[in-house]
Amino acid sequence: MEKLRQTPSQTVGPFFAYSLTAEQYGYDYNSIVKGSLLGDKTKGEQISITGSIYDGNGDAISDAMIELWQADELGKYRIAPIQSRNNDFLGFGRLGTGAKPDHGFRFTTVKPGLVNGQAPHINVILFMRGSLRHLYSRLYFSDENNAKDPLLLSMDATRRQTLISQRMEVNKNIEYQFNIHMQGKKETVFFNL
Amino acid sequence: MEDKDFDVHPPHLYPAYKSTILRSPTKPLMLVKEFLEDVSLPVFGESVIGKLDNDLTKNARKNGQPIGERIKVSGIVTDEYRRPMPNTLIEIWQANAAGRYIHKEEIHDAPLDPNFLGGGRMLTDRAGRYTFYTVKPGAYPWGNHFNAWRPNHIHFSVMGHQFEQRLVTQMYFPGDPLFDFDPIFQSVPKHARELLIAKFKMEWTEPEFALAYEFNIVLNGKSKTPFE
């Protein structure tokens, strides 16, 4: 059978928020995906994932959108559909970077378990004005054993650090800082699928 | 068709679209297919979709109907192998009929419409089909270069079933005179630009109510058995 050509990608543009992240920005429309990846009854130690996204000049980008998708504490991805109310862990979240003056993001989640022998990690999808195609990346944790992770091992050792979020304790909350650099010495590793 | 004809996506760096210059990766993307080919994307249930979510002419009314030309947009979402993709989340956003976005940072001096938000969402049905109603968005100026105007367009975000099937794109309207001047549209290889242009469908119009357009969406790769 003759294959179809894919629909080409286009930028998310600067004005996505009133549809994709409406509640976070205070628009009069509900959001079905938010900054919390937790369900109403998710167990386990909550953590925050915080950071900013920097352009080639080192300036924080104020009109990007970031999506996280991860397995639960046991290393299982959610299969059941996400509903308007959910008891179980969602594993999926989305935030824009334009709602706060510092242009940062702050997700709430639990740390994922090992997935198929890979170190605990969170999948990252990144969109912004000026990105004609979204970008895929991954977040690892500084306090986990990442030495044998096959994906990290398959890349240039000098660039692995760009994917490892740094554990911090802030007011007794556990926070992992994950800054994304589009360009420059610390340019984040992005994937081609 | 030759292989190169399947290369439909714009490059990351396209200097005519100035914002790409400081925001596109400078190092080659890493090929990691073997680590991510089994990763899914989340599935959504009907309960997340509000009754008026796929009717932008109704979902933000305050004291009347939004101003503008009422249209209906329908299509089918498939994978590259023509397999329909049911239960696929589509989110949309657009300017109003005057070319004004409701976004707070928008500075274009065209009127807001008190009865129009410009955002909506829907799930494809069992046959992979979707439909929504809206008003035709206006063109609007932007700061990329002197006298820059975007063609009329509707933004689409599509959540496929697998990780590599995420798509964000824009739907355009046939015969727009701004195509030749818009670097975002032009960033797509020439042969593939037609894939972003909806088709006018006389047979789908609703007499005395709305004109109709068809916009089919093809996602990357081969979808696995969809979740039921």
Say whether B153 is catalytic. Answer: yes
Q: Which residue out of A7, A68, A88 would a mutagenesis test of the B interface target, given it has the greatest number of B Cβ atoms within 10 Å? A: A7
pLDDT, one tens digit per residue, over A50-86 is 999 999 999 999 999 999 999 999 999 999 999 999 9
- Asked if the C-beta of B26 comes within 8 angstroms of chain A's C-beta atoms, the answer is yes
- Which residue on chain A is closest to B3 by alpha carbon? A5
Whole-prediction pTM value? 0.97
SS (H, E, C) B96-132: CCCCCCCCCCCCCCCCCCCCCCCEEEEECCCCCEEEE
**B17, B130, B133, B150: which one is catalytic?**
B150
Residues in chain A: 193
Give the minimum alpha-carbon distance from A174 to chain B in angstroms, rounded to a whole number. Answer: 26
Q: Could B6 and A6 be called an inter-chain contact, meaning their C-beta atoms sit closer than 8 Å? A: yes
The pLDDT value recorded for residue A161 is 97
Rounded distance, CA A24 to CA A13, Å? 18
β pairing state of A121-128 and A104-110: unpaired
pLDDT higher than 50, residue B91:
yes
Residue of A nearest to B11 (CA): A132
B161 is catalytic: no
> Does residue B36 have a pLDDT over 90?
no
Take residue A18 and report the two structure tokens written for it: 């009133």
pLDDT, one tens digit per residue, over A98-138 is: 999 999 999 999 999 999 889 999 999 999 999 999 999 99
Is residue B71 within 8 Å of B94, Cβ to Cβ?
Answer: no
pLDDT at B3: 58
Give yes or no for residue A4 having a pLDDT over 70: yes
- Average pLDDT value for residue range B206-211: 97
Cβ within 8 Å of residue A186, ≥6 positions away: A162, A179
Q: Indicate whether this complex's ipTM tops 0.90.
A: yes
Residue B128 has pLDDT above 60, yes or no: yes
**Whether residue B141 has pLDDT greater than 80:** yes
Question: Which residue in the set A15, A27, A83 is minimally distant from B47, CB to CB?
Answer: A83
pLDDT (tens digit per residue) in B190-202: 999 999 999 999 9
Marked catalytic residue, from B133, B140, B172, B213: B140
Closest to B83 (Cα-Cα) out of B120, B46, B126:
B126
Residue contact B184–A10, C-beta within 8 A:
yes
Task: Give pLDDT, residue B34.
Answer: 83
Range with the lowest mean pLDDT among A2-6, A93-97, B20-24, B198-202? A2-6
Q: Which pLDDT belongs to residue B2?
A: 57
Question: Which helix (H) or strand (E) element contains residue B167?
Answer: strand B166-172
